Amino acid sequence: MHDHSSKSFEPKAGDALTEMLRGLRLDGVDYSRYRMAEPWSLAFPAQPAARLYFVSHVGCYLRCGDGPWMALRPGDGILLPHGTAHRLASTPDLPPAEPESCRRAPICGNVYAVDGGAPDAADGSVATLFCAILHFNMDPMHPLMRLMPEVMRTWDLAQYEPALPHLMEAMAREAELDRVGAAGILARLADVLAASLIRTWVERGCGEPTGWLAAVREPDVGRVLAAIHLKPDEDWTVEALAQVMGASRSGFAKRFADVVGETPARYVLGVRMHQARLWLERDRMRVTTVAERLGYESEAAFSRAFKRVVGAPPSRFRAAAEA
């Protein structure tokens, strides 16, 4: 997120989303290869991290929350950006079990083999899925994160991105051949697949742009929004942001408020505080360090601003990270 300075930051007109996606990173913390013998059904609770599934062998069904069941075919990839509570099953409406009921063994590094279902099932009825738990380097309250749907499916977006079918084919080969090092390669491919899904959704699959998405795609304002999100710890004064837009101070402030719906100062404060929450939770920074990094003269002043925007003191998020 620190590849650009405020003086040299000049994203091309209409390319602000591309600039933001350059700073997007997904860090996989856990990868699992599930081999589930029929009949089987697992219920996964909601979690902050995203989940990516790739179905390698034998299809299954997915249900998010109280939504309808979705049939998954071999070769399907599914991303749950918000970590929504969901169920996976060989057949809909089977009574679900907890994922912890499955046998789990390490394969290599942070990749695990998970086996479950009926132990005497024939090989032809064993579903193979690869799962990745992924953390974004964006706060869940980032406007782009809030806009993402509960489910992104590769086949829905593959028509817009030629690389997606090739990625899925590569994952299928690695999963089926079960060669030495296949689990590690699958983990890396899962990271690339998730990032590609998000990029394709942003570029092609997110429908008619309204609200924040329309604002970020508006050439002049989009450059400003990209600058703020890529450098949230910059001292973004109205004058500095007006320079990014190439407008006068008063002209910029009016234009920004008309398009975004709030003042530049309020928007910058929100972005900075949500970035602060990410530093506290993910990077386990001290509250004092975050306050200094954002240019606050005291920890108390930062804490007041943080609580006003986020709704809770920064110490709560710091304590949760240490728990």
Rounded distance, CA 288 to CA 220, Å?
Answer: 35
Edge-to-edge order in the sheet of strand 41-44? 41-44, 86-89, 60-64, 69-72
pLDDT single digits (tens) 123-147: 558 898 988 898 887 777 788 788 8
Rounded distance, CA 164 to CA 150, Å?
Answer: 19
Rounded distance, CA 291 to CA 298, Å?
Answer: 7
Structural domains of the chain in order of their starting residue, each with its CATH number: 24-205 (2.60.120.10), 232-322 (1.10.10.60)
Determine the average pLDDT of the residues in 246-262.
92
Confidence of residue 1 (pLDDT cuts 50, 70, 90): very low
Rounded distance, CA 168 to CA 260, Å?
Answer: 38
Confidence of residue 98 (pLDDT cuts 50, 70, 90): very high
Rounded distance, CA 286 to CA 293, Å?
Answer: 11
> Which among 56-60, 120-124, 197-201, 316-320 has the top mean pLDDT?
56-60
Q: Sign of torsion, CA 199 62 159 189?
A: positive
Which pLDDT value is given to residue 83? Answer: 92
pLDDT for residue 9 is more than 50: no
pLDDT for residue 7 is more than 80: no
Rounded distance, CA 186 to CA 110, Å?
Answer: 12
Task: Examine residue 99 and say whether the peptide bond preceding it is cis (omega within 30 degrees of 0).
Answer: no
Determine the average pLDDT of the residues in 102-129.
79
Rounded distance, CA 58 to CA 156, Å?
Answer: 20
Other Cβ atoms within 10 Å of 254 Cβ, number: 12
Other Cβ atoms within 10 Å of 118 Cβ, number: 14
Confidence of residue 191 (pLDDT cuts 50, 70, 90): confident
pLDDT for residue 12 is more than 70: no
Residues in Cβ contact with 319 at an 8 Å cutoff, skipping those fewer than 6 apart: none
pLDDT for residue 122 is more than 70: no
Confidence of residue 320 (pLDDT cuts 50, 70, 90): low
Closest CA to 65 of 151, 136, 184: 151
Q: What are phi and psi of 218, to 5 degrees?
A: -75, 125
Name the least confident of 79-88, 186-195, 205-214, 250-259: 205-214
Q: What percent of the chain stands above pLDDT 90?
A: 39
Pairing of strands 103-108, 69-72: unpaired
Does pTM top 0.85 for this prediction?
A: no
Greater confidence, 156 or 236?
236
Residue type for 220, please?
A: D
Confidence of residue 15 (pLDDT cuts 50, 70, 90): low
Rounded distance, CA 125 to CA 235, Å?
Answer: 59
Which pLDDT value is given to residue 10? Answer: 42
Determine the average pLDDT of the residues in 287-302.
94
Q: Sign of torsion, CA 300 303 305 311?
A: negative
Greater confidence, 42 or 169?
42
pLDDT single digits (tens) 37-66: 999 999 999 998 899 998 988 899 999 988
Buried b (16+ CB within 10 A) or exposed e, 204-227: ebeeeeeebbebbebebbbbbbbb
Confidence of residue 112 (pLDDT cuts 50, 70, 90): confident
Confidence of residue 257 (pLDDT cuts 50, 70, 90): very high
pLDDT for residue 6 is more than 50: no
